[in-house]
Structure 1
């Protein structure tokens, strides 16, 4: 008979190994329902869906809706946030100087200004028109702007309202401050406001109209 050595309650005997291996290899049967692995052809599914949408007119309706939505966004842009009507006039000078990120050269490759240099654009080009910011929904502001400036003397820029509707009504070209980039750049918080050249600087003025604005 082979010896069985007991070590701390654990059986340690090479003679038991065959029995342990047999126990581990026991067939426990099927533990649950199984399925075969299936990978549907995604491209075929998408292609079939698109063909069905094309056949029932869904794609055409979707394209029409998207085009209408895009046109509405252009004709009725989102008002610039944080801009209110002027309640108290104020003005300040704005330095348009910038620091160049790269060298500026002329057509012959000659250096005009180098990267890192601070440059005032008004030293090279003149600003020929004023920038007039107004709320295009306010009739008083619109009338004030178009009566005070000829089309060649100023660019009238809306911070709210539809430039297209006003152009048809006033027969005058208007612009829109998309995402408030210009008003934010000049620090304008109220309209009507004017940005006008003043030597090597720009004068920014928020104007209080007589009687106030709606």
Structure 2
């Protein structure tokens, strides 16, 4: 054990020493960063075009509703694979059936439209849902980016799995939770053509 008076004092070199062979990590990062054309990488116009033209794969276009109808949709789900418990066992086995709405509530209203149909967009704009922050606007077609600019609110795409689970057959449609079921209403809006 070193004595306190030896602490902080140069005790000399014991053995061979060598120069550091690796390049400085910060210098390498700086050199690589200088090689990148940052204006090209973060070209705002290209980025906006990429965002505006985005369409998810598997988007399912639906016909326009010709009659207004409401139906209850059972949300019971059957597991297609085992859910492991993290300790080598199975928490929920494949084939286990449950209704998620018996465990959680969905406080939001889902509004589903085709944004390529100007009359559906106009219907939404004049609806009670247009200014409701609890209403999620989901698209089966059209540009979410353009609609965000027009409506000044969040807009999302409705993927095919959601459309299938809610059994939505036409748009516009409204989906809200009613107990352990989802109530889906497809709304016929008069055509102005």
TM-score normalized by structure 1?
0.55
**Contact 1:87 1:212 (8 Å CA) reproduced:** no
Alignment partners' CA distance in 2, 1:71 and 1:174: 13
Alignment partners' CA distance in 2, 1:148 and 1:213: 20
2:124 aligned with 1:145: yes
Which structure's residues are more often helix, by fraction?
Answer: 1
Return the offset for 1:184: 2.8
Equivalent position to 2:155, from 153, 166, 174: 174
**Alignment of structure 1 residues 1-214 onto 2, 5 Å:** 71=51, 73-74=53-54, 80-100=59-79, 101-103=81-83, 113-146=92-125, 147-149=127-129, 150-178=131-159, 180-209=160-189, 211-212=190-191
Structure 1: unaligned runs, 5 residues or longer? 1-59, 61-65
> CA distance change for structure 1 residues 134 and 213 in 2, over 3 Å: closer, same or farther?
farther
Structure 2: unaligned runs, 5 residues or longer? 1-39, 41-45
**Contact 2:114 2:120 (8 Å CA) reproduced:** yes
Secondary structure of 1:85's aligned partner: coil
Return the offset for 1:77: 5.9
Return the offset for 1:96: 1.1
Return the offset for 1:85: 0.9
* RMSD between superposed Cα atoms in Å: 3.5
TM-score normalized by structure 2?
0.61
